[in-house]
Chain A
Amino acid sequence: MKKLTEEQQVVDPGLDEQVKKLTPEMIQKVVKRVLTKEASARLKVYIDTCVRCGLCAEACNTYLSRNKDPQFAPVSKVKNTLWELVKRKGNVDGEFVRNMARIVFTECGVCRRCSMYCPFGIDIAYLLLLVRRICSLLGVVPQYLQDTTNSHAATMNQMWVHQDEWIDTLQWQEEEAQAEIPSARIPLEKEGAEVMYSVIAPEPKILAQLLGNMALIFKVAGVDWTMPATDGWDNSNMAMYSGDFEIMGRVERLHWETAARLKVKKIVMGECGHAFRGAVYDGPRWLGWSFPPIPMVHAIEFYYDMLKSGRIKIREKYKEHVTIQDPCNTVRGRGLGDKLRYVINELCDNFTDVDPRLEHNYCCMAGGGTINCGPPWKRSRMKSNKVKAEQLAATGAHIVITPCHNCHSGIEDIIGFYKLGMHVKFISEIMVETMVIPEELKG
């Protein structure tokens, strides 16, 4: 028998137990549904066009980090999953489905770097998401990730936060902010406000001080803002990554409907990459809109506007040696890399850029739901991102700034695993430390 790799031996009931329930008929039915009903032109053209040149390999942090193991090249991941499904018309067994789920959920962060390295622009991340979709319909999803999706389905947020906890947390953070600026507020349900501020569930659950920070920043900038007191405040979307597009659509619809109910002019969303992607791209398309119905800006852009227009001024720049983690979903996914650098340079004295940078930055290997696959897969994720550790170490910085929750946790993991001795910060944390708080606000 062939020796199993370390990754193949990982125990995850979401995969192990679930594949036991599959029958060949179920697998074939689902594969047929997805490959003929849910996908057409792109799937066909991408499969016909790929000349198997291997040029996409160079793009992938997993391949680069694992000594160029051919199994980890983007095209190999497609070969090991989708090509086989197409060739065998879905006639595959549970073992195959288990391997396929491992590959697409834990060894690819759907960061889309490879589509920038394929001369044809083949969207490999899309192809691998199709495979996730198949896995999801078969019920074979890493258990931690599925739990997050279940949380979305039951509570419309990612971390089982109940409405009372939500409101309570906001009020607590409002008080925290008032210790600094007595007139700071977190206005709930203010109809007709200029801005609705959206966050992802980890903020109220584990990083509540970030909400307090925003209350200060909005106050200083003089922004007319609000947050909903109802469900619809969370725009993170792990269902988008687990392949449960029905729930993905429900989450996004509620989020947009909440903004519409509050009649806001725009949404500013917190420092998170995939949430931006879900709200601006995947969600609207699933719901049948080409573009979002209400303008939405990411925190990077919001900070940029505030600094550029002078609504926020910096008292004294941050002294520590900093570098950046460019989040895929806002840099490759929105071109905000230059604005991010503007913001960092405004806030910090000592900034060393990463290489490669901007759109070419490596993914943190936490995104695309991979970190949400939980502890069983952590070691594998770490092995898949040695290049990130090397890239960060080369900057010699102490602080990694990243405006993305997933990147934040992912980079923390990498720093710990590779003993880099660095720390990770959000922009808002540095902004509240360095901005000018006008005398009249200090009270």
Chain B
Amino acid sequence: MGESAFSAASAATLSLCAAFGVFCATANTISANTLAEPQVFASENGLLNLLIIAQPGKVDGLTTPGFAPTGWFYTVCPRPRTGDSCPAGAGSSHSYGGFRLALQPGDELKIRLINNLPLLPPASLEWIHDDPLLALNPTNLHTHGLIVPAAANTTPPPDIPVYGDFILTALFNYNGGNPKDDPAQYDPGAYAQLHAHTDVVYNRLSAMDYDIRLPKTHPAGAFWMHPHVHGIAQNQIAMGMAGIVSVGKVASYLCYDAGCADPVPESSVRHLILKDMQVLAGDIPQYQQDPEFCSGSRAWNGVCSGNPENYSGGNWFFTVNGQQYPTIPVSKAQGEVWRFTNASASASYRLQLIDNATGRPIAFQLIAIDGVAVGFPEGADAGQTEGALRDRFTVASCGKWNGVYALQPICASEIVMMPSSRVEAAVAYRDPSGNLVSPPQGASATLRTAGLDTGPGGDPWPAVNLAAVNFVSGPAPASAQPVHVGAQAANAILSQGSLINPLGARPQPAAAGACKPLPSGHHRRVYFANPNVPGASDGPGTDPWGNAIFGLGFEEIDQSGHSVPGSFVDVTQFDPAQVICLPLGPGQTPVLETWELVNLATELHNFHIHQTKFSHVSPAVAMSGPPTFVTYATGVLEDSVPLPFAKPGPGSQPVLDPEATSCLVSDYKSGKCAATSVWVQIPFTQLGTFVFHCHILEHEDGGMMHVIRVVPSSS
């Protein structure tokens, strides 16, 4: 959506504020709706031990009259000595907006998770046909982005199971409200998706435990946590279930000066958790997002109104830390560090900070992506920087700067955030050329998403104002310079000798034929598309109930670029029984693989893999030989990346059938469909069984996910 739409939305704001009685922040107003930090739970002496209860609660940060729906979110408190409830009061968090776990590298995170969620209306679940147990609202936790073991349970009943960051398990509410709601009354074996490949946890406490240990070399930055039960993740996150995790101290990678005599203090860091919720007329939450909820309707501050055809009287709220259109006072002369997390289930954001006086964007200085500080050596070639940043940022000038920077400052006028991504940015008043200057009296800006269309077969995520920003006026700070991202804190952490080493890996006899390393020089190609299945009721890529379905296909490619015979698997929906298995290297060392990600759909997908960080490489480097940790370390390290959509040509499935939203692999191979591969190098350092998937959760729940297992090597 262009500037005209924004202007229209802005112009409409005042009248709408008046008409609806909505509180509207204006420039220089420090209001009662000032953005609050999420409640913090910090580790002490290397341990954070929490009770986290998933349960219903009021979404009370909306300012639109008549809307305070019941969502689902977490009550969090330090684990009590006895009992499994959190005391009322300041020590507990019970907020739709979320919370923050403040961890340090080397910490142990222990969580007792309790499922107190209500039953779900089955008709609201897209994937109820695949798995009727979803109506019982099972849940679990995933610590997104943390490089930790994906340890399965080792504790037998009647004791409560204990997991690492393991998502192939589902915790049921024992007191589901109806004696028929006992999962044992179902036949899990009747449903292929549950055929003894994911745990079913059902005990009197409705509880399971997590014990997650961070390596001492874990990168410092922004991470988050959310439920990850296949088929219902989108619903639970859409209802509010997410919190954030920070690791380490910002001073370990960010300073105001080159020598780091003046590190950035923790008090300069702000956390912004972006969530959205669609609420129907009558204050009834919709359990997931329809991207066209507001099509043709108005958007204003933190909300757009439901389109009259399908959602009359409804509203789609976009909140920051659970607050609808809060005010953010930037009161430090040197600016602030903002850590954004897209904690929406499926929505994408295109963030801009618009100067209210000029209507032009104020540049953000990029500090970290997906929890790892980012920077390029001065003089890094444009291909290297733009290749990695192209689909996530609109690079802009950082203005004039002096002095020596170990890593060249990078600024952006726009930040694209697909679901699950985190971006850390320095925010200060800048002139249109990007120079840090003294803010004029009354300087203010609007943080907004400019809207993102994810492609011809994709979703039109709307443009909405998210927050009002006020800059303190005064003389420019003496050090009106970009902040310094520390060279040692960035990519180097995960590169070469300092790469995180596998924990607890001991030689293990190789299971017969199961886990083989990828041959040297080979790479894995992964196809992202909508599979075609028998009984599709609404054209290609749909299931018998008319839902769009999603899947992945695979192929091993040799050093000459040829497909390894027998390695091709066409695009299919998620099946937990299908596993890519690989052993660690000899001596239990990390393994680096090259993957080629090929999106055959006519919409963006968003690749995410658990327990590691990958790095972009160019196709030429990727095909020049086996991957090395040297090339790995020169890239931006990410755990999610947008995959550009395909361009179908004559004779391809989408051209032959306008209903189709993806090409076939055969279209791609025969040259009828052009796709831009994204090449990544992925280090495998953590043991366990985990997944990679599209993090648009409608797509993940719809089948765009696969299991991967990393086992110890035999020597």
Bind each other? no
